[in-house]
Amino acid sequence: MATGVRTAEAGVRPVAGGGKLVLFLLALVIVIIAEAIGNVTIPMGTGKIVLLPLLWALLIGGALGLLSPRLPAPLRLSIGLQNTASAYLQPALLIFIAKLGLLVGGSLPKILASGWALVFQEFGHFFGTMVFGLPVALLLGIKREAIGATFSVGREPSLAIIGERYGMDSPEGRGVLAEYLTGTVFGAVFIALLAGLMTSLGIFNPLALAMGAGVGSGSMMAAASGAIAAQQTPEVAKEVATFAAASNLVTTTIGTYFTLFLSLPFTIWAYGKLEPILGRNRPDAAQAAGPAPVAVPHEEVRISLAETVLAWILIGIYGLIGNWLTYGVYPDRMVISGMAIIIGVVLAGYAIYLLLGRKLPAVLWVSIIGMALTYPGMPFAADVAAMTGKINFLALATPILTFAGLSVAKDVPAFRRLGWRIVVVSFMANAGTFLGAALIAQFFMHPPLG
């Protein structure tokens, strides 16, 4: 849900400090409301869907943006504030990544013991989008837009790949933009509902589902892993978080090369084979969908390093509030020390990221430092794990999804021009990357946990 893809037509300017203060106050209120609502379970036949505080935060933030023109002035969320929320989303995700890295470190031996499950489930992530999405796209009459919409989950690297090869005004470019916008507006909600439902059916090992949650998007991974973990014992919930984090790290680091050299060529080949069969005599759905979607120009928001550090501290405080309200963990000295370690991991990882010229993603460095601090045998690993272990990772996901919700309303006008068919295809692609990886991981793992 980052903003980098729509800034080519816009300038860059700082946002007034007062506007950012309003944004963080709104985020605080949303976090408190979402955590106060808590978990809500909805029966679905033999399964169930669990609506978590992170989903309430996402929905409340999105609703606030959509209803903004009708709200009193203090509650209005201008396009500028929505862009600011989007700009803060990536730094906010590093807090969540640091917590997951600290969880993963202590469980690295168990993760490595999963062996081929973690290796081969990545094929499910990168081919599942095409396997699930492409046939549906062709049956709905979508032509070459289907290539861009189904070769990946359509995050920023995918936009760059398609833009360089075909141009964003091409059918393939319109397809990947449709996938991007659908994922931005609905991705976290959809993947959380799907993950929760699949978990409740009991047909998958929860760790296989956790690997499926590592789709390469931090917010979607947070939503999916949270839905899975909410239905587990506390111990298994931690394992779910660690395996989801490990899978997401693999997907993030090798994803660009995998989609460029394997997923995209395979999807192009499959389109050539399947279109004459499934798409024969079907009218081009792009004509019925109305004008082609275009990038939504807006001003990129510049956030200083000092503001970024302040944001990490505030998000950490919001996480402590959620940890207290929902999980009953009072923020005593040990808990506050644990949050200080998490923020320290982010600061150290980001410093390395800057010192090395931003050549490798900050997510990688933050994850490595977090894992090193709690890896068995490292000095003070048990103490660090004990302090940071008192902070539930779902409590940190809620403020992150709050900023995601506060940023989505600006994309709705472009989203409305896409047509319902491409939205269905996007949902199928997102389902495919999750279920494809989970199916492969399940094959390599033991029977479901008892």
What is the rounded distance in angstroms from the CA atom of residue 408 to the CA atom of residue 62?
Answer: 6
Q: What digits encode the pLDDT tens for the residues 345-371?
A: 999 999 999 999 988 778 889 989 999
Whether 175 and 147 have beta carbons less than 8 Å apart is answered as: yes
CA angle 35, 107, 390 (to 5 degrees): 35
Q: What is the pLDDT of residue 280?
A: 76
Backbone angles phi, psi at 296, to 5 degrees: -95, 110
Characterize 213-231 residue by residue with b for buried, 16 or more Cβ atoms within 10 angstroms of its Cβ, and e for exposed.
Answer: bbbbbbbbbbbbbbbbbbb
Average pLDDT over residues 202-210: 93
What is the rounded distance in angstroms from the CA atom of residue 148 to the CA atom of residue 232?
Answer: 36
Helix (H) or strand (E) holding 12: strand 12-14
Q: What digits encode the pLDDT tens for the residues 24-47?
A: 999 999 999 999 998 888 887 767
Chain-centroid distance of CA 443 in Å reads 25
Residue 2 has pLDDT above 60, yes or no: no
Q: Residue 294 half-sphere exposure, CB side, CA atoms within 13 Å?
A: 7
Q: What is the pLDDT of residue 374?
A: 93
Q: What is the pLDDT of residue 285?
A: 61
Residue 300 has pLDDT above 60, yes or no: yes
Residue 8 has pLDDT above 70, yes or no: no
- Specify the DSSP class assigned to residue 42: E
For the chain, what are the domain ranges? 4-444
Range scoring the smallest mean pLDDT among 111-115, 314-318, 380-384: 111-115
Whether 153 and 183 have beta carbons less than 8 Å apart is answered as: yes
What is the rounded distance in angstroms from the CA atom of residue 160 to the CA atom of residue 264?
Answer: 13
What is the rounded distance in angstroms from the CA atom of residue 367 to the CA atom of residue 88?
Answer: 19
Q: Which residues pair with 44 in a beta bridge?
A: 47
Residue 297 has pLDDT above 60, yes or no: no
Q: What is the pLDDT of residue 345?
A: 97
Tell me the pLDDT band of 381, cut-offs 50, 70 and 90.
very high
Whether 170 and 164 have beta carbons less than 8 Å apart is answered as: no
Mean of the per-residue pLDDT values of the chain: 83
Tokens 């494809």 sit on residue: 436
Percent of the chain with pLDDT over 70: 86
Whether 214 and 246 have beta carbons less than 8 Å apart is answered as: yes
Range scoring the smallest mean pLDDT among 1-10, 260-269, 338-347: 1-10
Distance from the first to the final alpha carbon of the chain: 36
The length of the chain, given as a count of residues: 450
Residue 298 has pLDDT above 70, yes or no: no
Q: What is the pLDDT of residue 372?
A: 94
What is the rounded distance in angstroms from the CA atom of residue 180 to the CA atom of residue 216?
Answer: 13
Q: What is the pLDDT of residue 271?
A: 93
Tell me the pLDDT band of 284, cut-offs 50, 70 and 90.
low
Question: Are β-strands 40-44 and 300-302 bridged in parallel, bridged antiparallel, or unpaired?
Answer: unpaired
Whether 148 and 420 have beta carbons less than 8 Å apart is answered as: no
Whether 114 and 444 have beta carbons less than 8 Å apart is answered as: yes
Within 10 A of 29 (CB to CB), how many other CB atoms are there? Answer: 14
Whether 404 and 58 have beta carbons less than 8 Å apart is answered as: yes
Query: How many distinct helices (H) and strands (E) make up the chain?
Result: 20, 4
Q: What is the pLDDT of residue 5?
A: 33
What is the rounded distance in angstroms from the CA atom of residue 35 to the CA atom of residue 398?
Answer: 8
Range scoring the smallest mean pLDDT among 47-51, 91-95, 304-308: 47-51
Sequence-separated (6 or more) residues with CB below 8 Å from residue 439: 124, 208
Q: What digits encode the pLDDT tens for the residues 212-248?
A: 998 888 788 889 999 999 999 988 998 999 899 888 8
Sequence-separated (6 or more) residues with CB below 8 Å from residue 257: none
Q: What digits encode the pLDDT tens for the residues 37-89?
A: 988 888 877 677 778 898 899 889 989 988 888 888 777 888 888 888 888 88
195: left (phi over 0), alpha (psi -120 to 50) or beta: alpha
SS3 category, 88? helix
Residue 6 has pLDDT above 50, yes or no: no
Tell me the pLDDT band of 289, cut-offs 50, 70 and 90.
low
Tell me the pLDDT band of 288, cut-offs 50, 70 and 90.
low
Helix (H) or strand (E) holding 322: helix 305-327
Q: What is the pLDDT of residue 444?
A: 84
C-alpha distances (whole Å) from 13 to each of 3, 10, 73, 293, 303 are: 14, 10, 23, 26, 9
Q: Which one has a higher pLDDT value, 263 or 254?
A: 263
Strand (E) positions, 58-117? none
